[in-house]
Amino acid sequence: MTLLEVRGLDAGYGDFQALFGIDVDVAVGETLAMIGANGAGKTTFLRVLAGQVPAWAGSIMFDGTDIAHVKAHRRVGLGIALVPEGRMLFGSLTVRENLIIGAHAGRSGRWNIDTVLDVFPLIRPLLDRPSQVLSGGEQQSVAIGRALMSNPRLILLDEVSLGLAPVVVKSLYDALPALSEGGATVLLVEQDIGQALAVASRLVCLLEGRVSLEGRPDGVARSDITAAYFGLPASSGTEASS
């Protein structure tokens, strides 16, 4: 069953067009990784889905209805949660308040502070701290937890690993299966191809605002991914050794 069906999506900022005719499908329960170089339009795509950037053209069917023109603050209630690039915790709220506010207009379901803390036990002792004093990895855990608190059907993760040490990234990625098991469909954006391929059931590559490749991680050649990522001419199609 398809949860999200994006067709012919154009979007941008002012006169600048960042996305050109994007078609993407996300099936219920899958983990879709969107990769692409810096500036390819990945963040813009997620922000359009969350309603922070308006769609210029095209449709965004979410569970059968077009939400392209639904206001941002109504989308979390429909079941879309964005973990934004740069975490964007609320600086004047404590960690606990940052989590609670995630449920402000969300749906009911299995996620609450306790179940979120089961997934991210390291933030339990930090609950009453101001969110600014947390390390990058802790902040990212809170940002994911905050999104979970709304019991999303579709969770959008924007560069979870950005600026974090490899061990921290690993622990965050280790938590991802818990999101799917909790019933959420995951769309994650990464610049780090290896990281994305390890967890994704499907892969979409963006290049300069267009989809340049789509497929299953085990079904596309590494060289094709590299070509789609950097905009190089496609390889002859032979499987590259990795």
Partner 1 sequence: MEWLNAIVQGIMLGGLFALFATGLSLAFGVMRFVNLAHGDLAILGAFVAVSVISATGLNPFVSLVIVVPVMLAAGYALQLGAFNFTISPDPLPSILVTFGLGIVIQNVLLETYSADSRGLDVGSIEIESIRVTDAIAIGWIPLITLVVAVTVLGALQLMLSRTSLGRAFRAVSDDPPTARLMGINDRNLYAVAMGIAFATVAVAGVFLGIRQSFGPLDGPAQLLYAFEAVVIGGLGSVWGTLVGGLLLGVAHTVGGQFEVTYGYGSGPLVGHLVFLVVLATKPSGLLGRRAE
Ligand X SMILES: Nc1ncnc2c1ncn2[C@@H]1O[C@H](COP(=O)(O)OP(=O)(O)O)[C@@H](O)[C@H]1O
Residues at the interface with partner 1 (CB under 8 A): 50-52, 71-77, 81-82, 84, 88, 90-93, 97, 100-102, 104-106, 146, 150
Are β-strands 31-36 and 202-207 bridged in parallel, bridged antiparallel, or unpaired? parallel
Select the residue interacting with ligand X from 22, 24, 31, 36 (CB under 6 A).
36
Contact positions with ligand X (CB under 6 A) in 3-32: 13, 16, 18
Tell me the two tokens of residue 134: 């947390």
Select the residue interacting with ligand X from 43, 151, 185, 212 (CB under 6 A).
43
Select the residue interacting with ligand X from 1, 38, 219, 236 (CB under 6 A).
38
For position 39 contacting ligand X by CB under 6 A, the verdict is yes
The Cα 153–Cα 167 span in angstroms is 28
Measured from the CB of residue 159, what is the shortest distance to ligand X in angstroms?
A: 7
Measured from the CB of residue 139, what is the shortest distance to Mg ion in angstroms?
A: 17
Tell me the two tokens of residue 1: 């069953």
The Cα 122–Cα 63 span in angstroms is 34
Q: Sign of the C-alpha dihedral, residues 152, 153, 159, 164?
A: positive
For position 177 contacting ligand X by CB under 6 A, the verdict is no
Select the residue interacting with Mg ion from 19, 31, 43, 187 (CB under 5 A).
43
The Cα 20–Cα 12 span in angstroms is 9
Distances (CA, A) of 112 to 74, 91, 208, 221: 20, 21, 39, 41
Residues that bind ligand X (CB under 6 A): 13, 16, 18, 36, 38-44
